[in-house]
């Protein structure tokens, strides 16, 4: 039943409130649960009240991406880079990678949308927080001394690696969360040991996978293999 004294009537309904409720609903029940009608019920308003803030389901999906990257940008603003002997641009990329991991841990149900939704939206129509983070990464690489072509290569490699690592971790669905034995928890006891000996042998490592540690270690290896800017061009880091 719609609350006639809900946020819209009290003048408190806003785009951040609508998107926050959408994120909370998806976090709790998954992406399939998100509809305009269900979101309106969560907010205690009529469905039509939402169209002032998001014109439909497709725009609402873009809104989830907007909220997700807003959290990443907010995290970067409030978590300053710590001292490190690394070149500034590498330190900043590691910091951004950590922000990606924090958001993925908080909103695992939205992560697949983050990886796929931009493919259906032209660059210029992507949410502002996405564009701002992209601009920041490219600016960091530019100030580090990378030429344009190399900066784009580093950027694409960085984003692909981060999303790939996080998706692999978050898509590993646990078969029985209450089961302490890793073989049973992951459901790998269903696989014949004679046919899948390596999978069964690696169960402890699969169960104890630290996505952020693995992601940063792999990122370091990838960046080691990339062309490097001149030492005197290193950028000192920090979020612009």
Distance from C-alpha of 140 to C-alpha of 138, rounded to nearest angstrom: 5
**Residue 53's pLDDT band (boundaries 50, 70, 90)?**
very high
Residues of 108-140 as b/e, b for ≥16 C-beta within 10 angstroms?
A: bbbbebbbebbeeeeeeebbebbeebbebbbeb
For residues 37 and 152, membership in a common domain is answered with: no
Burial of 89 (0-12, 13-18, 19+ CB in 10 A): buried
Return the higher-pLDDT residue of 232 and 50: 50
As a whole number of Å, the end-to-end CA separation of the chain is 46
The pLDDT value given to residue 87:
67
Question: pTM of this prediction?
Answer: 0.79
Q: Are residues 102 and 3 in the same domain?
A: no
pLDDT in tens, 65-117: 999 999 999 999 998 766 666 668 999 999 999 999 999 999 999 999 999 88
Residues 132 and 28 both lie in one domain: no
Q: Say whether both 45 and 137 belong to one domain.
A: no
Residues 167, 76, single domain; the answer is yes
Same domain? For 26 and 95 the reply is: no
CATH value at residue 43: 1.10.10
- Which pLDDT belongs to residue 4? 45
Same domain, 119 and 88: yes
Both 42 and 81 in one domain: the answer is: no
Asked if pLDDT for residue 190 goes beyond 70, the answer is yes
**Alpha carbon distance 237, 105 (integer Å):** 25
Q: For residues 147-164, b (16+ Cβ closer than 10 Å) or e, as one string?
A: eeebbeebbeebbebbbe
Number of domains in the chain: 2
Domain hosting 106: range is: 69-172+209-233
The CATH number linked to 128 is 1.10.357.10
In a domain, 222, yes or no: yes
Q: Are residues 22 and 88 in the same domain?
A: no
Q: Which of 84, 87, 114 is nearest to 99 (CA)?
A: 114
Whether residue 161 is found in the same domain as residue 228: yes
């Amino acid at each position: 039943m719609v609350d006639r004294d809900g946020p819209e009537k009290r003048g408190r309904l806003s785009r951040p409130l609508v998107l926050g409720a959408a994120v909370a609903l998806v976090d709790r029940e998954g992406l399939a649960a998100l509809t305009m009608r269900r979101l309106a019920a969560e907010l205690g308003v009529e469905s039509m009240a939402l169209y002032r803030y998001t014109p439909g389901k497709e725009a609402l999906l873009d809104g989830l991406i907007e909220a997700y990257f807003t959290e990443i940008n907010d995290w970067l603003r409030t978590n300053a880079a710590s001292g490190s002997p690394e070149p500034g641009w590498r330190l900043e990329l590691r910091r951004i990678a950590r922000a990606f991991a924090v958001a993925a841990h908080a909103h695992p149900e939205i992560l697949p949308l983050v990886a796929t939704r931009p493919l259906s939206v032209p660059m210029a129509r992507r949410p502002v927080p996405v564009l701002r983070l992209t601009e920041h990464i490219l600016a960091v690489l530019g100030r580090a001394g990378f030429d344009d072509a190399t900066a784009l290569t580093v950027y694409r490699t960085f984003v692909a690696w981060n999303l790939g690592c996080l998706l692999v971790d978050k898509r590993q669905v646990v078969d029985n969360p209450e089961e302490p034995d890793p073989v049973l928890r992951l459901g790998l006891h269903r696989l014949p040991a004679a046919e899948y000996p390596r999978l069964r042998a690696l169960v402890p490592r699969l169960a104890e996978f630290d996505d952020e540690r693995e992601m940063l270690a792999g990122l370091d290896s990838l960046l080691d293999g990339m062309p490097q800017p001149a030492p005197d061009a290193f950028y000192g880091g920090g979020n612009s």
